[in-house]
Amino acid sequence: MKLISAFLGSLLTILCLDRPAMAQVMPKDELLFLTAAWQGERFADGRPKISDDLLERAKRIGLDDAWTVLKNEGYTNQYEGGWKLIKDDIAVTGRAVTAMFMPSRPDVERAIKERGIAKQGRKGNTNTWPIEILTKGDVYVADAFGKIGGGTLMGATLGNAIFSKTGNGVVFNGAARDLQELQAIKGFNAFVRDFHPSFLEEMVLMGLNTPIRIGNAMVLPGDLVIAQREGVLFVPAHMAQQVVSTCEFVTRKDQFGFEVVKSGRYTTGQIDSQWTDEIKTEFLNWLGQHSELGSMTRPELDKMMSKRTW
């Protein structure tokens, strides 16, 4: 009986290890489970697909305001600082494609590469595999366990390949090389732990579009990445609409507040507390004169003021 149980256990292990989705790609049903709060469109593999319109709007919001919205909703592990950038003046905003790297060991790396090439159609070293699935608006987010020397996930060639597919940048908890050449890619940026002249070595991809840890933050595939000079915020996909809408309102509210306080019509105390009907009416009239800031109805304003997640 013990022999039969041992045999069945070994067979189950073999069958599980032979699943093509294991090790590199998260099974779709598991991704759907972990991102169940997202009710919108998805990519074929199950990754949440935040709309292009919302991504464009997210490019105009402040990281500090977005962080405040998340914190007030209980999402306190979504920010990570301490980055080096290619360019200080270019933000990176988009949908996360995640990759988890680990220190390599010969047997594991050999098995992963053999299966990836034979069964999954992969090519090249494993750090290029996430690039193969990138689409416009994606951000390649990789946990390379903070490795610097030998932890260079990208050089000039891969940087150009990434930008041509996404029109976007990267966030690497690791390193990059070819800084001078990467600086020449117009519109491209990278948030990395450091730059180093070495080539990638002793690292292997162990997870593609799986949950990863970037410093103190949890990142899931499809998260909204907001990377600005002060740091990187990973907004859960289902929170993206609320975060962006709230931040847009805060921007409008602040501009309106600056004007009316400076003119002496209202005090800072009146603007920073619950608004009276008079202030709300004046705000909506003011907003109608600033079409570049978008529109807002009275019910939308009342709802935003009642939530106070900013």
Give the domain extent around 210: 81-235
Say yes or no to pLDDT of 28 above 70.
yes
Domain boundary residue among 202, 235, 268? 235
Which pair of structure tokens corresponds to residue 280? 């709300």
CA atoms of 154 and 162, how far apart (whole Å): 9
The H-or-E segment that residue 54 falls in is helix 52-58
Which pair of structure tokens corresponds to residue 63? 């990281």
pLDDT of residue 5: 40
Are 228 and 258 in a shared domain?
no
Sequence-distant (≥ 6) Cβ neighbours of residue 241 within 8 angstroms: 54
Assigned domain for 22 exists:
no
Sign for the pseudo-dihedral over CA of 40, 223, 87, 166? negative
Are 224 and 273 in a shared domain?
no
pLDDT of residue 270: 92
The H-or-E segment that residue 208 falls in is strand 203-208
3-state SS class at 104: coil
Entry pTM: 0.87
Domain boundary residue among 235, 250, 284? 235
Q: What does R_g of the chain's alpha carbons equal in angstroms? A: 23
Sign for the pseudo-dihedral over CA of 192, 198, 202, 205? positive
pLDDT of residue 15: 34
Give the mean pLDDT of the chain.
90
Are 90 and 126 in a shared domain?
yes
Domain total of the chain: 2
Are 212 and 270 in a shared domain?
no
- Kindly compute the dihedral angle of the four CA atoms of residues 192, 195, 198, 200, in this order, to the nearest 10 degrees: 10
Backbone conformation region of residue 86, classed left if phi is above 0, alpha if psi is from -120 to 50, else beta? alpha
User: In the predicted model, what is the mean pLDDT of residues 188-198?
Assistant: 98
- Whichever domain contains 156, its CATH number is 3.50.30.40
> In Å, what is the CA distance from 270 to each residue of 56, 205, 275?
32, 54, 7
Question: Are 202 and 174 within 8 A, CB to CB?
Answer: no
Say yes or no to pLDDT of 16 above 90.
no
Are 252 and 291 in a shared domain?
yes
Say yes or no to pLDDT of 11 above 60.
no
pLDDT single digits (tens) 214-273: 999 999 999 999 999 999 999 999 999 999 999 999 999 999 999 999 999 999 999 988
* Half-sphere exposure for 99 (CA within 13 Å, toward CB): 25
* Half-sphere exposure for 166 (CA within 13 Å, toward CB): 29
